[in-house]
Amino acid sequence: MERTFVMVKPDGVQRGLIGEIVSRFEARGLKLAGARLELLPEERVIEQYREHREKPFFPGLAAYIMSGPCFLMAWEGKGAVAVVRRMIGATNPAEAAPGSIRGDFALDIGRNVIHASDSPESAARELGIHFAPGELVDYKKIDESVIYE
């Protein structure tokens, strides 16, 4: 089983999309391992988006992410990192497939509602930035026998 880091960004929180987004991951069969609503401090925003630090859009991105609370989650399941990336859709919502979260709820690349880790390595790194060891919950979900063969 794999875990991935997912975050509803401030635009998604303000637009009341947390419930809809959580529902989609639950309905897919993924298991929630942890969640928290939080105003992110600048150090963790810089750390999360470290690869983009020198890009021209970085100051605007950091200001957007710190403009209000984010809803941080850890989701677990078979191939969770790639499955969730497909569910959130392309970075630019104008190109995101209908049926994906960005393809259904966003229009602008700078207000694309949700973040998800792009590889198992990023997932481990990002979960480590935002969740303390022991904060994520290990438990058995009773529907596993009908979700997995």
- State phi, psi for 32 to the nearest 5 degrees: -75, 125
Catalytic residue among 115, 117, 123, 127: 115
Among the listed residues 93, 115, 123, 126, the single contact to ligand UDP using CB under 6 A: 115
Please give the Cα distance from 111 to 127 (Å, whole number).
22
- State phi, psi for 65 to the nearest 5 degrees: -65, -30
Residue with tokens 């994906």: 100
Number of residues that bind ligand UDP (CB under 6 A): 9
Q: Is 91 annotated as a binding residue?
A: yes
Active site residue 52: no
Share in percent of the chain as helix, strand, coil (round to 5): 45, 20, 35
**Contact residues for Mg ion, defined by CB under 5 A:** 118
What positions carry a catalytic annotation?
115
**Contact residues for ligand UDP, defined by CB under 6 A:** 52, 57, 61, 91, 109-110, 112, 115, 118
Binding region: 9, 57, 85, 91, 102, 112
